[in-house]
Amino acid sequence: MYNTEERFRAAQTQYEARVEKALARFPERKPFAAARLYTPQDIAATDYTGDIGFPGAYPFTRGIQPTMYRGRLWTMRQYSGIASAEETNSLYKYLLSMGTTGLSVAMDLPTQIGLDSDSPLATGEVGKVGVAIDSLQDMEDIFEGIPLAKVSTSMTINAPAAVLLAMYIAVGRKQGVPTNELRGTIQNDILKEYIARGTYIFPPRPSMRLVTDTFAYCSAQIPHWNTISVGAYHIREAGASMVQEVAFAFANAIAYIEASLAAGQKVDDFAPNISWIFTAGLDFFPEIAKFRAARRLWAKLMKERFGATKEKAQMLRFHVHTAGSVLTAQQPDNNIVRITWQAMAAILGGTQSLATCAKDEALSIPIRESATLALRTQQLLAHESGIADTIDPLAGSYYIEHLTNEIEAQATEYIRKIDKLGGAVAAIEQGYMQAEMAAHAYAHQQSIEHKDRIVVGVNEFVKEQEATQGEVLHVDPAVGVRQIDKLRRLKESRDNHAVQFALDRLRRTCRTDENLMPCLIDTVETYATLGEICDVLRQEFGEYVQPKSAL
């Protein structure tokens, strides 16, 4: 009788013979990235206890909670914010009434780069891709009638993140909510702006001070606040591969940790408040494996490289936003299907929070009906599909475990390369990550142009004449006029002597090693504007210009 190895070899030989016959009749459609078949041999070196383990226990491959969604579903968010603070407030109340369990604030481009709405550079952009926030007054209006003690708020803001956080804290104070009871996240990941999005203001090194100051302040004052949401998502959306998404985001996070440690902070104090945002793309099984690999790699880095002893400091807690770059303006109803399996990958991968794109996001900011459908997609998956009933149901799959191991190994190699370059800041300054992402983006687009990758409705299964698109949201240019008038009236009615005193104090504080957060909170409470505050920081820190080598 054969032993186990001999039986396997014999069966494999028989299978390969059948494959040869099948290929003669049905040649395979194209070269595939994945192997034809995965077997126990592909995960022979995997140790269950050490590499996979149990949910809620190191290395957290199977999830960070012992019961995962059986105890509590993921937070359902919709990335939203449009035009004015008042319109955004109305939208948030509508989304909450529809079952949204967390708010995610989209801010317009001038806000993202620290400009007031009356800046000449803001012309034509006010309220277009998010809500305009010029001052504490706008933040008050956004959350009017929304009790901050009962809602978790995520703010997608980076260069001026500390200023927007100060405004949110001030709103909480006005509502009578103790600072230590606020819950939410600021993105606050400036390094990815230099390689992915471009909404930077200050050079990298003073920007790192703003990040580490928020780390220190929140660790002491806002224990339930996530002080950063490291933006793997934006790196991927800018053209990175799945492995680059993990590796480059991890390299940036390592830089933040090292900067905080250099400033005298303790890793077990601030690391529990590091959170993440990843994308969920179209490659269903690799995306699931990516989340599992990322959790395991992060746990190892925190424990072995930084000596984190608290379990929460070792956990990769992440939000997922389904990929917007893969949605198509052609046949937009197809996007509903794409978004559904992206969301499934995020859930099967163990996300803590999820935002689903809407079908019309390749065309504009979603209208209410499509935003509601995107939310309903999550609710259907949560309550009708059954995929949240058991934890990490694909664990043990030869393919999934092989992919998990491969993604972890490849991401680790990238991190080693970046370490050799001097870390993330040095790698960004040398243009290394930007070049790697650009090369992958070019190759990906070529695969679409050559039809190696089919995009339904774009390069195959195209309609001769596209139907007229449905309703698309347009922002009335009058929004900018009204916002500028609101800002003018604010400047006329506030105590401008108090504003100037606060701005002068902020300038002096910039020249010290003192934490900037308390000063920023005092300054926004005078109704100093975002632009006025950022102008002081620009004068003290300088403005960043992308070097030609990084373009």
- Residue 460 CB-density burial (10 A; 0-12 exposed, 13-18 middle, 19+ buried): exposed
Residue 342 token pair: 């992206």
Specify if 531 maps to a domain: no
3-class DSSP assignment, residue 274? strand
Specify if 183 maps to a domain: yes
Whether residue 396 contacts residue 374, with contact meaning beta carbons closer than 8 Å, is answered with no
- 429 vs 195: CA distance, rounded Å: 10
Reduced 3-state DSSP string for 367-430: CHHHHHHHHHHHHHHHHCCCCCCCCCCCCCCHHHHHHHHHHHHHHHHHHHHHHHCCCHHHHHHC
The total of structural domains in the chain comes to: 1
Looking up tokens 């199977």 gives: 62
pLDDT for 467 equals: 56
Cα torsion at 218, 222, 225, 227 (round to 10°)?
0
The domain of 296 spans 65-449
Per-residue pLDDT of the chain (551 residues; tens, 9 = 90+): 456 888 999 999 999 999 999 999 999 988 888 999 999 999 999 999 999 999 999 999 999 999 999 999 999 987 888 889 999 999 999 989 999 888 989 999 999 999 999 999 999 999 998 999 999 999 999 999 999 999 999 999 999 999 999 999 999 999 999 999 999 999 999 999 999 999 999 999 899 999 999 999 999 999 999 999 999 999 999 999 999 999 999 999 999 999 999 999 999 999 999 999 999 999 999 999 999 999 999 999 999 999 999 999 999 999 999 999 999 999 999 999 999 999 999 999 999 999 999 999 998 878 889 989 999 999 999 999 999 999 999 999 999 999 999 999 999 999 999 999 999 999 998 999 999 999 999 999 999 999 999 999 999 999 876 655 667 777 788 999 999 999 999 999 999 999 999 999 999 999 999 999 999 999 999 999 999 999 999 999 999 988 765 55
Q: What is the CA radius of gyration of the chain?
A: 24
3-class DSSP assignment, residue 278? strand
Residue 352: DSSP 8-state: S
CATH number of the domain that 192 lies in?
3.20.20.240
Residue 331 token pair: 């046949």
Residue 278 token pair: 């990843």
Specify if 55 maps to a domain: no
Looking up tokens 């939203």 gives: 80
Specify if 488 maps to a domain: no
Specify if 264 maps to a domain: yes
Specify if 526 maps to a domain: no
pLDDT for 57 equals: 97
Closest among 133, 115, 134, 131 to 123, alpha carbons compared: 115
Output the DSSP codes for 64-76: SSSSGGGT-PPEE
Whether residue 235 contacts residue 196, with contact meaning beta carbons closer than 8 Å, is answered with yes
Q: Which long-range contacts (CB under 8 A, 24 or more apart) does 426-433 make?
A: 427/251, 428/191, 428/194, 428/195, 428/204, 428/550, 429/204, 429/547, 429/550, 430/549, 430/550, 431/547, 431/549, 431/550, 431/551, 433/195, 433/235, 433/244, 433/248, 433/251
Positive or negative, the Cα torsion across 510, 514, 516, 521? negative
Looking up tokens 């690391």 gives: 271
Specify if 494 maps to a domain: no
- Residue 72 CB-density burial (10 A; 0-12 exposed, 13-18 middle, 19+ buried): exposed
pLDDT for 466 equals: 63
Specify if 524 maps to a domain: no
Residue 48: DSSP 8-state: I
Output the DSSP codes for 163-199: HHHHHHHHHHHHHT--GGG--EEE----HHIIIII--
pLDDT for 1 equals: 45
Whether residue 115 contacts residue 122, with contact meaning beta carbons closer than 8 Å, is answered with yes
